[in-house]
């Protein structure tokens, strides 16, 4: 299962980490969000130990959503060394997202 980022753990798990962090901002009521959930789940397993891949429920974690100015979902942020290095709004294919992740792995 993909990691669950929350307002409480985001600093430690996404910003302070030296890994690449991939964060999918989503909500249960969002159809396109549900479409990419299996992709996020698969990639979280495939990149275990290389990148932290997880989800932020925007309804339950408004602080993170506001901090990163999330206006549309799904939005995927890729952070490296705590800084946003990539932002994708909308659905995305698994190969395309994997390419984006690979581009930021050192």
Q: CB-hemisphere CA count at 13 Å for 8? A: 2
30 included as an active-site residue: yes
Active-site residue, from 9, 17, 19, 30: 30
53 included as an active-site residue: no
How far, CA to CA in Å, does 27 sit from each of 56, 59, 84?
A: 8, 6, 21
Active-site residue, from 2, 22, 33, 56: 33
Q: Which residues are catalytic?
A: 30, 33
């Amino acid at each position: 299962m993909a990691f669950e980022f929350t307002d409480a753990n985001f600093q430690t798990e996404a910003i302070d980490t030296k890994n690449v962090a991939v964060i999918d901002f989503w909500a249960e009521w969002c159809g396109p969000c549900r479409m990419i959930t299996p992709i996020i789940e698969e990639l979280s397993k495939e990149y275990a130990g290389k990148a932290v891949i997880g989800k932020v429920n925007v309804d339950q974690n408004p602080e993170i959503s506001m901090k990163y100015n999330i206006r549309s979902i799904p939005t995927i942020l890729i952070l490296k060394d705590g800084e946003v290095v990539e932002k994708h709004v909308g659905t995305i294919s698994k190969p395309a997202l994997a390419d984006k992740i690979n581009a930021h792995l050192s």
